[in-house]
Every structure is written in structure tokens, then in C-alpha cells.
Chain A
Amino acid sequence: MWELVMNGLQQMSNSLAIGMTAFGVFLGVMFGCVPGLNGNTALVLVLPLTYKLPRMAAFALIMGIYIGSCSGGLISAILLNIPGAASNVATQFDGSPMARKGEAGKALGTGIFYSFIGSLIGFAALFFLSGPIAGIAINFGKADYFWMAFFALTMVISLSSKNLWKGLAVACLGLLCSFIGASEVDGTTRMTMGMHALDAGINLIPALIGIYAVGEMINASKSFDKKAKIITNYKIRGFGFTWQEFKEQFVNMITSGIVGTFIGILPGVGGMTANVVAYSVSKSTSKHPEKYGTGYMGGVVASETSNNACVGGAMIPLFALGIPGDTFTAVMLGAMMVHGLQPGPLVMTNNADFIYGIFVALMLANIFCVILQYYGIRIFVRMLAVPKHILLPIIMVLSLVGAIAINNRIFDAWIVLVFGVLGIVMNKLEFPITPIILGFILGPLAETNLRRALMVSRGALLPLISNTPSIVLIALSVLSLILAPRLLAKEAAANIDVKEADDEGEI
């Protein structure tokens, strides 16, 4: 294993890759802290760049953005009282009251430090778990693969939707979109309506850009620029907290890290769920639950540790199974394919150097993130005033460039627009968005393996459900449908609790 780590270090030890990591972190923090923009927007912005960069440098840039964007939102959550991204919502609950009490420096220091710790916990899980999980998945048969895809889909549907039927319907839509073009088993083109541009199917990246970036951008453009009060009179000394406080928060830190990592692993949910759940867990297990929401350091610790722990967690299913854990990793999956990597359990063995290079990039990004945020906080605060009405159209142009350049054809720009409109309509009608993406990614995996398994079994259904891995996966699917609504209920309850506490604080 250490040999692989050394190989990874070697992959990353060039100035371009290191520079790209730093650039990625800078962009990530900047987009993370401006409300209305987030890591996905930053990724779309640099996507055309990643096509042309060497593979390692491209993914170093992506890792930097991922780490930076998870953490950057804490700046605006604390100083502006508006979370910069959905993954920092719970940071605001205690971070903002801390700032109003005159402890802005302490809140920022705590947030930056525990983001680092959170990334470390998630990274440890990624480092030690992805290999063994890939090892199990390599021995999967065709039927097992089908059930794995099925399991991932049930998870997404049950976790991401308040309304199960709507989630199911949207997942079906994702599956149907993925079937367009030549089928993998027999090469028959289908559902193309005679358009030859669709013969190879719909490319993942334009579809993702459309659904997420364009939809989000158009939504963000509705809210115009707000004038907000930024707290500017603060000083950071050290990280702002004492050794005693660190010891007090130790259990909270570990629990929040584990909660974050676990939620990251689950497909379809990520930092935006993790920070709120970790906050409520931390509050309910704390000796002083009444302090939460009044400017208590523990709240910031829980939120910031958990959202960064998600990063490592979300990449475990991506590397081990080829299943992305959230939107960001879904775009990463698309970028991996652009660079000629076939996602799935074999990546861990066939491209071990590259994967370990990514691990090194993650660690490096984590270190850069602390340094950049600690010393550059005033620069990022200035970024909060960036005029969105100029930035959003430019990002729109770049996202279209990214789509056109992937296959050198204007057709993919139309795909962006169609999926963009689809995203807006679904948003208006309160459909969850994640199931369509996972359906789109898992569709070919599920269908191809089902058809092949049926060929092998000559049409018999029993062999499809009699393998040990298959049985386990079916059981897990059923379990997810039962347990997931409870997790959701917990999150909702936490949200209400916290809101009440916040309202009381205001009075």
C-alpha cells in the first residue's frame, strides 16, 4: 500500500498539479462563500479547462474545488448570517450568534480548523474502505451488478424525496433518458426519433450541466443582488479556541465526522443533509443542549466537521463501485470518462497510481484550504460583493463551451438547454432532482447486467436472486426503503428545532 502512496506522491509532484490544487481551493472557497453560487457552479466553470489539462492536474483542480467549496460557505454563514451553500446551513445557527456576540474570530477559526479535521476523517474512511469494497465488488456476477444498481436507486429515491411517488417517477425519467441510443448488449439504436446525433446516447456532462448549472443559475438570477451587512471588526488569534475547549469538543468532533462520512457514502445525499443531521445529533447528545443556537462553539464544530467529512465519504462509492454519492461526484464521473477512465471497481486496480494521486491531491487541498482561508479571509469577504448579474451570464457561456467542446458539436448545447428547462420545470413542481441523475447513470449498468444475467440463466429468474451478494443487496434495498424515511424525519425535526431556537435567539 505504501508503494502505491509513493506512486501517488510521484504523480502529484509537479508544479502544474500542485498549482492547480491551490487554484481549485481558491475557486472552491470563493464560490462556496458567495450565496447563490456553489461548488457545482465552480466545477462547471473549469470543466472545459479540465479536458485539456493532463489527467492528474485536472483532477487535482477538481479535488481543490470540492474541498474548498464545502468549507467556504462558513465565511458568509458567520459574517453575513446567510449560509454560502446548503452544506453550511447549520454553521449559521451558532456561527452567526457568535459573531454578533463579538466572537467572529473564534467562530471563523473554529470553522476552518474543524473543516480540516472533518476532511481528515472522511479521507481516512476513503483511504481504508474504498480498496476493500472494490475488492468485494470485483467478484460480483451480472445479477449482483443489477441488484447493486437497484439498491443505489432505492437509496436515492427514498433519501432524496419527501414524496416517494415523485421520486420514483423522476428516477424512471432518468432511466429512460439513459436508454436513448445504441443499447449495450446488441447495439440496436433505439428511442432516437431518427436523429443520428442521438445514436451514441445523451452524454452525461451536458445533461448534468443543464439540470444543475443552468437550472440553478436561472433560479439564482431571480434573486438579484442583495445588500447585506457584513461583520468586519474581528481578529483571529490562533484558531480562537483553547486546548480545554478542544478536549471538550473531542467526542462531538468524532461523532460529527462519522455522521458526515456515513451520509457522504449514501448515494443521493451529501453535505447539505450531513451538517443538519450532525448538528441535531450533537445537540441531542450534548450535556448542554440549551446552549445550541445561542452562539455555542459545539454547533459550528458539528456542522463544519460533518460537511467536510462528506467529501471523503462521497468518493468511496465513486471509486469502489462507479456510483457517485452526490452531484459533484456525478460530474467527476463524467470527467473521469472524458479522461478515458472506466468507472467501476476495476479502477482501483487498473489505475491505482491515479487513484492514489487523487488521495494525495485531497490531502494537499485540505492543507491549502486551511492556509488560504486563514490568511486570505479578507479577500474572500470582498468576494461577497461580486456582482452576480455579470458573473451568472459568463458562467452560462462557459458551461455551454464546456458542453460543446466535449464532442465538438453544437448538438450538446441543445442538450444543455433541454435539460435546463427540464430542471426548472421539475424544481417548480417540487420533484427531487438527484434521482434523475442517478437513474441516468445507473440505467445502462442495471439494464445491461439484467439482460446479460437473463441470457446466462436462459430466462430463469431464480438464479437472479439466489447469489449471496444479490440476497444481501436485495435485503439492503428493502431496508433502505424502511429506514430512510426515519432519517429524513430526523433531519426535518432537527431543522424545525433549530429554527425555533434561532427565532427565540432573535427575540
Chain B
Amino acid sequence: MGNNKKNFKDLIAGLVVMIIAAFFYWTTLGTKSFMKMGRGRLAPDAVPKTIAGLMFALGIIIIIKWFIAFKRGTLPPLEAEDDSADCEGMTEQQIKTRHLFQKITMPVTILFVFLYILFMPEAGFVISTIIFLTFQITLLSTDMSLGSWVKNLIIAVIAALAIYIIFGCAFGLAVPKVSSVDLYLNDLYRLMAGANQN
């Protein structure tokens, strides 16, 4: 009971499986082997094609199983997320904001990570990380006041510099060192490390 929404999860699941299988089958087309085919020699695309075909069939089976259960009405109901225990003592407004954020956090986070990776090679590690961290921390904190932005910006600057100096400079990991900030910090680190050695 509780939720009257119909459970279409497995229908979508089956369709997703079929689409992914078809996509992978498409990628195997036009594979050319350098080796001559002969007795007992499987072509390089033979196994991938078989597996993609099998996966497509599995998608169909998942949908058929869903359809049978749907007709019989034996599908388990969708579970509603219950967070009333966490909302104890909150005002109506706070609960509303909380539910709104619960909805948007996931897609917005994915968007932020997408933009972060996109701009990292252009803007360099330090600047892109500071921007990403500021926005992401503020998003998760659900507090959009000016004070919160400033506080999170400070945290982001400290964290980004620490990560860059420890991993990018001291350990010499290949993070994108592009902007003048990146390069300046790198030179500064080398200077200090060199001075210590002398």
C-alpha cells in the first residue's frame, strides 16, 4: 500500500540493458583482424558479438518477466523514501528545502563534476578545484547564505592548495599544471624544497 505509483523499474531496466547491448554490438562492427582465420581461430569480434547478443536477450527476458508480474499484479510496490525521523524538530520550510535538495543534489553534482573535468585542462588544477569545491560544498551544505559561500570558499582554497602541493608538487603526480597559479606554486615548492636540501 502506501504508494500507488506503478513499479516500472524492471521495464526500464530491461530497456536499458537492450540499448547498452545494441550499442556494444554496434561498436564491434567493422573490426578487422590482422590474423588469418583458420580452424579453431575465433575472430576478435566473435566473443564480444556473442556476449552483446546474449545481453540483448537477457534484456528481453527481464522485460517479459516484468510483464508477467505486471499482469498478475505481483510486482512489489515502489518503496517511498521515509525520512520523517531525520526531519524531527525541523520547521515546514526547512523540510521543504531539504526535500528539494534531495531531488536536485544528484543531477547537479554530476553536472559539476562534468564541468570540473571539462575545464581542468584549460584553467589548471588549482583554480578549477577551488571553483568546484566551493560550489559542491555549498550545494551539499544546503546553506546558500553569503556567509556560507565565503566560509566554503576559504575551505576550498585551503583544500585545493593542500592537495596540489602534496600530490601535485611533493609527489609529482601529473595533475594539469596550466595556469600561472599552478606554475608559480610549483616553482615556489621547488625553491623551498631545494632550499631545504641545501
- Chain A residues engaging chain B, CB cutoff 8 angstroms: 48-49, 51-52, 163, 165-166, 168-169, 172-173, 175-176, 179-180, 183, 185-188, 190-193, 214, 218, 221-222, 224, 226, 387-390, 392-394, 396-398, 400-401, 404-405, 408, 410, 413-414, 417, 420-421, 424-425, 429-431, 447, 450-451, 454-460
Contacts and interface: CB of A to CB of B under 8 A. Distances in A.
B65 interface: yes
Given A48-B173, A393-B140, A405-B174, A172 B58 contact: yes
Contact of A218 (B20, B65, B106, B160): B106
Contact of A413 (B12, B33, B117, B163): B117
B172 A165 contact: no
Contacts of B35: 185-186, 188
A401 B173 contact: yes
A390 B58 CA distance: 41
A410 B173 contact: no
B127 interface: no
A165 B109 contact: no
Interface string B1-26: 00000000110110011001100100
Interface in B19-55: 20-21, 24, 27-28, 31-35, 39-42, 44-45, 47-48, 51-52, 54-55
22 contacts: A48-B173, A169-B59, A172-B21, A175-B51, A176-B51, A180-B27, A185-B35, A188-B33, A188-B34, A190-B44, A193-B27, A218-B110, A222-B105, A222-B106, A393-B140, A394-B159, A397-B160, A398-B163, A401-B173, A413-B120, A430-B13, A459-B39
Contacts of A429: 9-10, 12-13, 16
B141 interface: yes
A308 B101 CA distance: 37
A185 B46 CA distance: 13
Given A49-B171, A190-B31, A193-B27, A172 B51 contact: yes
Interface string B160-172: 1001000100011
B46 to A, nearest CB: 8
Contacts of B121: 410
A191 B21 CA distance: 12
Contacts of B34: 186-188
A424 B106 contact: yes
Nearest to A456: B40
B62 A221 contact: no
B114 A405 contact: no
Contacts of A48: 167, 171, 173
Interface in B79-121: 86, 98, 101-102, 105-106, 109-110, 113-114, 116-117, 120-121
Nearest to B45: A190
A410 B120 contact: yes
A221 B31 contact: no
B137 interface: yes
Interface stretch (B128-136, B181-189, B190-198): B128-136
The residue in A394, A405, A408 that gathers the most chain B C-beta atoms within 10 A of its C-beta is A394
Contacts of A166: 13, 62
Contacts of A49: 167, 171
A478 B92 CA distance: 56
A169 B54 CA distance: 8
A52 B141 contact: no
A43 B95 CA distance: 35
B137 to A, nearest CB: 5
A95 B71 CA distance: 45
Nearest to B172: A52
B148 to A, nearest CB: 10
A402 B14 CA distance: 34
Given A165-B61, A187-B34, A397-B163, A421 B110 contact: yes
Contact of A186 (B44, B59, B176): B44
Contact of A190 (B48, B106, B110): B48
B180 interface: no
B9 to A, nearest CB: 6
Given A48-B171, A191-B28, 10 more contacts: A52-B173, A166-B13, A175-B51, A176-B52, A186-B34, A224-B86, A390-B137, A390-B141, A401-B173, A414-B117
Interface magnitude class on chain B: 35 or more
A21 to B, nearest CB: 19
Shortest 6 CB-CB contacts between residues of A and residues of B: A459-B40, A389-B140, A172-B55, A393-B136, A408-B174, A405-B173
A454 B58 contact: no
The interface residues of chain A, by DSSP majority, are classed as helix
A176 B44 contact: no
B75 interface: no
Given A410-B120, A450-B42, A451-B42, A397 B47 contact: no
A197 B169 CA distance: 26
Contact of A447 (B20, B40, B47): B47
Contacts of A188: 31-35, 44
Given A48-B171, A458-B39, A221 B140 contact: yes
B48 A401 contact: no
Nearest to B102: A222
A413 B132 CA distance: 15
Contacts of A224: 86, 98, 101, 140, 142
A425 B13 CA distance: 9
B68 interface: no
Contacts of B123: none
B62 A191 contact: no
A183 B44 contact: yes
B150 interface: no
A168 B31 contact: no
Contacts of B48: 176, 179, 190-191
A168 B59 CA distance: 10
Given A188-B31, A404-B174, A430-B13, A165 B86 contact: no
Given A222-B105, A450-B47, A169 B27 contact: no
Contacts of A451: 41-42, 47
B62 A169 contact: yes
Nearest to B128: A397
B132 A393 contact: yes
A459 B39 CA distance: 6
B136 A396 contact: yes
The residue in B21, B114, B140 that gathers the most chain A C-beta atoms within 10 A of its C-beta is B140
Nearest to A174: B51
